[in-house]
Structure 1
Amino acid sequence: MIVIVGAGLSGLLTAYLLKKEGIPFKILEARNRVGGRINTIYRKEEAPIEMGATWFTAQHPNLIALLEELGIGRFEQYMDSKVFYEPNSNFPAQIVEIPKNEPNYRIAGGTSNLINTLVRKLNPEDVILNQAVKEIEFNTNSVFVKAENIFEGKAVVLALPPKLWANGIIFEPEIAEHLKEIALQTHTWMEDSIKVALTFAKPFWKEENLPRTLFSNVGPIVEFYDQCDEENSRYALCGFINSAFKQLSYSERKELVIDQLKNIFGSRVEEFLHYEECVWSEEIDTFEDSEHSLFPHQNNGNPIFRDLYFDNRLIISGSETSSKFPGYMEGAVISAIESVQKIVESRR
Structure 2
Amino acid sequence: MIVIIGAGLSGLLTGYRLKKEGIPFKILEARSRIGGRINTIYGTENTPVEMGATWFGNQHRHLISLLEELGIGSFEQYMDGTVFFQPFSTSPAQSIQIPSQPPSYRISGGTSNLVNTLYQNLDQNDIKLNQSVKEIRFQNDSVQVITEEVFKGDKVVLAIPPKLWAKNIVFEPDLPDNLMSIAQQTQTWMEDSIKIALTYKNPFWEEENLSGTLFSNTGPVTELYDHCDHQRSKYALCGFINSSFKQLTYSERREKVIDQIKNVFGEKAEDFTDYEECIWSKEQHTFETSDIPLFPHQNNGNQIFSRSFMNDKLLISSSESALEFPGYMDGAVYSANETAKKIIAR
What does residue 25 of structure 1 align with? 25
Q: Amino acid of the residue matched to residue 201 of structure 1? A: K
Residue 213 of structure 1 corresponds to 213
Partner SS state of residue 57, structure 2: coil
**1:159 to 2:159 alignment:** yes
**In the alignment, what sits opposite 1:170?**
170
- Give the corresponding residue for 1:222: 222
Pair 1:110-2:104 in alignment? no
Listed one character per residue, the Cα deviations across residues 230-268 of structure 1 (whole Å, up to 9, x for unaligned) are 011110000000011111111110000000011111111
Match of 1:93 in 2: 93
The Cα shift of 1:80 comes to: 3.4
- The aligned counterpart of 1:267 is 267
TM (normalized to structure 2)?
A: 0.99
> 2:295 is matched with which residue?
295
8 A Cα contact 1:46 1:200, kept in partner: no
Using structure 1 for the length normalisation, give the TM-score: 0.98
Q: Which amino acid aligns with 1:132?
A: S
Asked if the contact 1:193/1:240 (under 8 Å) is kept, the reply is yes
Question: Counterpart of 2:56 in 1: which secondary structure?
Answer: coil
2:11 partner letter: G
1:65 maps onto 2:65 in alignment: yes
Q: Quote the Cα distance in structure 2 between the aligned partners of 1:62 and 1:207.
A: 36
Deviation track 1:44-88 (CA, whole Å, cap 9, x = no partner) reads 633210000000011011111111111100000111353110001
**Which residue of 2 is the match for residue 146 of structure 1?**
146
**Which whole-Å CA distance do the structure 1 matches of 2:251 and 2:137 have between them?**
44
Contact 1:308 1:315 (C-alpha < 8 Å) held by counterparts: yes
2:335 corresponds to: 335
Structure 2 counterpart of 1:286, which letter? T
**Is 1:179 the equivalent of 2:179?**
yes
Match of 2:14 in 1: 14
Q: Equivalent residue of 2:62, what SS?
A: helix
Letter in 2 for 1:278: C
**CA–CA distance in structure 1, aligned partners of residues 271 and 153 of structure 2:** 53
* 1:176-221: CA deviation from partner (whole Å, max 9, x where unpaired): 1111000000000000000000000011112233331000001000
Counterpart in 1 of 2:56?
A: 56
- Decide whether the 8 Å contact of 2:44 with 2:273 is kept in 1: no
Amino acid at match of 1:74: S
Dislocated runs of 4+, deviation >3 Å: 43-46
CA distance in 2, matches of 1:72, 1:338: 22
Alpha-carbon contact 2:78-2:211 (below 8 Å) kept: no
Residue 144 of structure 2 aligns to a residue whose secondary structure is strand
Shift of 1:29: 0.1
Separation in 2, partners of 1:314, 1:117:
27
Structure 1 residues 4-36: Cα deviation after superposition (integer angstroms, max 9, x where no partner): 000000000000000011100000000000000
Q: CA RMSD in A?
A: 0.9
SS in 2 for 1:85: strand
Instruction: Write the letter of the residue equivalent to 2:336.
Output: A
Give the Cα separation in 2 of the matches to 1:267 and 1:174.
59
Matched positions, count: 346
- What amino acid does structure 2 have at the position aligned with 1:30? A
| Helix, strand or coil at the partner of 2:175 | coil
Q: Is the 8 A contact 2:82 2:210 kept in 1?
A: no
2:189–2:327: 8 Å Cα contact kept in structure 1? yes
User: Do the aligned residues in 2 keep the contact of 1:72 with 1:108 (CA within 8 Å)?
Assistant: yes
Contact 1:4 1:159 in 2 (8 A): yes
Query: Conserved in 2, the CA contact under 8 Å of 1:81 and 1:100?
Result: no
Deviates more, 1:37-46 or 1:240-249: 37-46
Q: Unpaired segments of 5 or more residues in structure 1?
A: none
- 1:257 to 2:257 alignment: yes
